[in-house]
Amino acid sequence: MNLTIDVEHNGAEKIVSLSGEIDAYTAPKLKETLLPLTQESEATVIVDLQQITYMDSTGLGVFISALKSTKEYNNTLKLVNLQDRVYRLFKITGLTEIIAIETDSTVRGGM
C-alpha cells in the first residue's frame, strides 16, 4: 500500500491529509513533506489521519520528529480524525500525553 499526502495552505494553518499506510517504506516520504511545514513561521500543522488504515513505529517516529520541530520553531502540531487502531498506537506509547490529538474533529475547509 502507498501513502497519499495532500497539503493545503490556509494562512498559518497547514492541513496535511493522509491516506493509506504509514510504515518503514512510506515514512520517509511523510517526513520529507511534514518537517518543512513545521519549520514555517507561526505555523499550525494539522494532520488528518482519517484515511490511515495502518501505522507502525516508523510512523510514530515521524510524528515525534515533527513535534520536536514544531517546539523548536514555536509552532503547533495537531493530529485529527484518527482511526481507533491508530489512536491506540499513540495511546499505548504515551504519545497522547505530549501530542495534541483530536479523534472526532472536523478539519476546516471541508476535509
pTM, full prediction: 0.90
Instruction: Decide which of 3.40.50.720, 3.90.930.12, 3.40.430.10, 3.30.750.24 is the CATH code for 3-102.
Output: 3.30.750.24
- Domain boundaries of the chain, sorted by first residue: 3-102
Q: What is the pLDDT of residue 110?
A: 40
User: Given a cut of 90, is residue 23 above it in pLDDT?
Assistant: yes
Strands laid side by side in the 13-22 sheet: 3-10, 13-22, 44-55, 76-80, 100-102
pLDDT, average across residues 59-77:
96
